[in-house]
Structures are given as C-alpha cells and as structure tokens.
Amino acid sequence: MKLQFEKNVDLLPHNTFGISAIAKEFVRIDKSAHVEEALEYLRKTKINHLVLGGGSNILFTQNVDALVLQNRLFGIELEKEDDMHVYVRVAAGENWHNFVLHCIRNKWAGVENLSLIPGCVGASPMQNIGAYGVEMSSVLNYVEAVNIHTSERHTFSLSDCELGYRESIFKRKEKGNWFITHVGFKLNKRPVFHIEYGAIADELDKMEIDTLSIKHISQAVIAIRSSKLPDPKILGNAGSFFKNPTVDLSVLRAIQEHDEKVPFYPVDENTVKIPAGYMIEHAGWKGKRAGNCGVHEKQALVLVNYGGATGHEIFTLSTAVMTDVKNKYGIELEREVNVW
C-alpha cells in the first residue's frame, strides 16, 4: 500500500501544547520500507520537512510550510541477552512511557527513573532525556537512522551520538539530516537503584516499601511527576520548557552574594548546574498568567496553554521569563523545547 500524502493538515492533535498550526503536507510512516518512499517524494518536490513523533517537545509559532513526516513505527524486539544484560531494539514511534512499563514487566532495569517522560522512543537519544539522576546515555546502545537527503541507512554507536546535557549530534551537527527508525538499549538484569535524587526516597518511605524493586521506583517517579506536572490532555504543555543552566563557579559566587539559598549541583570542579525552575520562581513568575497561557502554579519550568493560546503567545511569555531571569541572576536561559 502506497503512502498517503495529505495536504493542509491541522497539527493541533499532534502536539501536546495543543497549538493549531497547518502543515502544508503530512504523511504517517508506519512501515520501515515507507521511509525511503517518503524521502524520495521529499527530494522530488524539494519541499522543507519536519520529523514529528509525539509532538511533546515542539512549539508551533506559525503554520508549517513543509512536509511533516510523522513517525509511527512500532515494535519492541529482544535481540539477545547474557548473564548481566538484555539488548533490546525498539521502533522509534513507540511511546516512551509504554516502553518503560514494558521493561518493568520484563524486569529489565535501567529506565525506571525515566517513567512518565512524554514523547516517543525516537526522541530519547535526540534529547538525551534524563530525570532523577539517570540519563539516556546510561542505557543507549545504538541508533538506527535513514539519511533524509540520500536514503542511506546508518547505525550510530553510543559515542557517535555525542550525547550531552539534553544534547546530541541529531540536535546540533546533524540537525534535520536523519530520520530515526530504531533505538537499541542495553539494560540490566541486576538493577542498580538510583533513589538519591529529588524526592524519590521520601516517596518510597510514604509507600512503606520493604523490598525495593524497579517497579517501586517507577511508581514513586510517576507519583512525583503526576503531583507536579500537568497532564497535557487537560492543560497543554511540553514539560520542562527551559534547560537547567550550567555555569562557572564564579557566576554562582556572584549570585550567592544576593541569594545565599540558591540551590546548585556540582558538574565538575569548575562548573555547577543551577535549577532554572528556582530562578524563574524567584523572579516572580511561578503561577503567573499572561492571557491564554502562563507559568504553571506547581512547577515554574513548565509553560502551559490554558486554552486557545497561540504559539506566538507562549514564545513571547518565554522571552519575558528569560529576560527577567537574566536581569535578576545574570544567566541566559535556553529553551529546551524546539520552536518552529
């Protein structure tokens, strides 16, 4: 069956901010063999392109004068295992949280701290997603992708992906060049528990756990995230809108002169990470509304669409937040969400 290319498609149901934006053309790719067909069409028409997964990390500020390639490749395959590890190949269109739950059911450890992160598996290496002391880089084995310009298929090793804090080769050097089809994971048969970050230990105490398991950690993370982060089905959002900035120690010392309580986390001997949410809150933005959008009342890192907001409104709000933080703390925040 040939691919169906649709014209003038509203992307409102395809992004978690709930923003209406009209795509010039739109195609769903649900078979690996269809990738080349879509890319051949792309090269023939010489139209711009946008690869879209779950739409949980994008803000549309205008209509999309491009062909939207929606990744709907599904499947989870156990490739091999040894005494210590299991090796799993996952199609890029799989929902990330559903994949985490699948791992927990099979007692595959390593991704439990990443429960309830929105989006698709294909976006996980692009963003080097992370939460509660664990990052994608600790479980990634490889990434399979197709070159958008040549249709060449290539497998990127972990080192090839050049993962950094919410960064990868796919977001910088090779941005827009690859359509990710599958992600390979190396997971543990014997779990290594990470409960020292955030409120996980406190949540586990509330749960009165006798014998710790990856399922318990997942349940704790889900409870914490659910208590602080709005459900996109109810209140449009894209999760954390800003990155936590990494700054030199001298910048921290300057901030501490007027804010002794500013939290920070050492990165190395010369740099620290300062929570962006703390600075946004202390600049007076937490819970503040601007027309149809605002800063969430429980988590200052999250910008929300109260209904009917345009992407431009949300972008303008983010700029105002960034300006105030720069004026108060001397730090330039960076948007984590992709802006179109």
Q: Give the per-residue pLDDT at 1.
A: 67
Beta strand 76-81 pairing with 85-91: antiparallel
Report if pTM > 0.85.
yes
- C-alpha to C-alpha distance for 22 and 8, rounded to whole angstroms: 6
Q: Are 186 and 78 in contact (CB under 8 A)?
A: no
**Phi, psi at residue 201, to the nearest 5°?**
-60, -45
| Segment holding 324, helix H or strand E | helix 311-329
Q: How many residues does the chain have?
A: 340
Q: Are 319 and 280 in contact (CB under 8 A)?
A: no
120-164 residue pLDDT tens: 999 999 989 988 889 999 999 999 999 999 999 999 999 999 998
- 198 has pLDDT over 80: no
Region(s) of the chain under CATH 3.30.43.10: 6-71
Task: Examine the residue annotation and report whether 36 is marked as an active-site residue of this protein.
Answer: no
Q: Domain 236-339, what fold?
A: 3.90.78
Name the active-site residue from 166, 203, 225, 318: 166
Looking at residues 61-69, what average pLDDT do you find?
A: 96
Task: Examine the residue annotation and report whether 72 is marked as an active-site residue of this protein.
Answer: no
Q: Is 246 helix (H, G, I), strand (E, B) or coil?
A: strand
- 238 has pLDDT over 90: yes
- The CATH code that applies to domain 6-71 is 3.30.43.10
- 208 has pLDDT over 90: no
Looking at residues 260-287, what average pLDDT do you find?
A: 92
- 222 has pLDDT over 90: yes
Region(s) of the chain under CATH 3.90.78.10: 236-339
Q: Give the per-residue pLDDT at 228.
A: 85
18-40 residue pLDDT tens: 999 999 999 999 998 899 999 99
Q: Give the per-residue pLDDT at 328.
A: 93
CA 284 to chain CA mean position, Å: 26
Task: Examine the residue annotation and report whether 281 is marked as an active-site residue of this protein.
Answer: no
Q: Domain 76-188, what fold?
A: 3.30.465
Name the active-site residue from 56, 115, 124, 240: 240
The mean predicted confidence, pLDDT, of the chain is: 93
Looking at residues 41-49, what average pLDDT do you find?
A: 92
What the block records as the tokens of 263 is 């939290």
